[in-house]
Amino acid sequence: NYPYPGGNVYGGTKAFVGQFSLNLRNDLIGTGVRVTNLEPGLCESEFSLVRFGGDQAKYDATYAGAEPIQPQDIADTIFWIMNTPAHVNINSLELMPVSQTWAGFAIDRNRG
């Protein structure tokens, strides 16, 4: 949900998934099928290692000084979502480690 420099394609795919989830929920109304868009923040996983082409130093720098969410945290959240009463739908849920926030606005101070 939060833009960052160089994140155009990644952000676009996230927007697609969000809209797809909303439309899917509309299409499934009355079926009892629930749809949740789970939006994790900084999570320590092999995704970053793949993203950086196997560069361990970049992977390590991603998590340096932070306590990222762990895959088990996401699994526990999914378990909670799935165990809510059948009449409850969690439409969207964003989770981040307490050490993370969004970057805020970027300001180019070099323009005259």
How many whole angstroms separate alpha carbon 57 and alpha carbon 55? 6
Given the residues 2, 10, 59, 63, select the one marked as catalytic.
Answer: 10
Quickly list DSSP for 46-112: HHHHHHTTT-HHHHHHHHTT--PBPHHHHHHHHHHHHTS-TT----EEEE--TT---------TT--
10 catalytic per annotation: yes
Catalytic residue numbers? 10
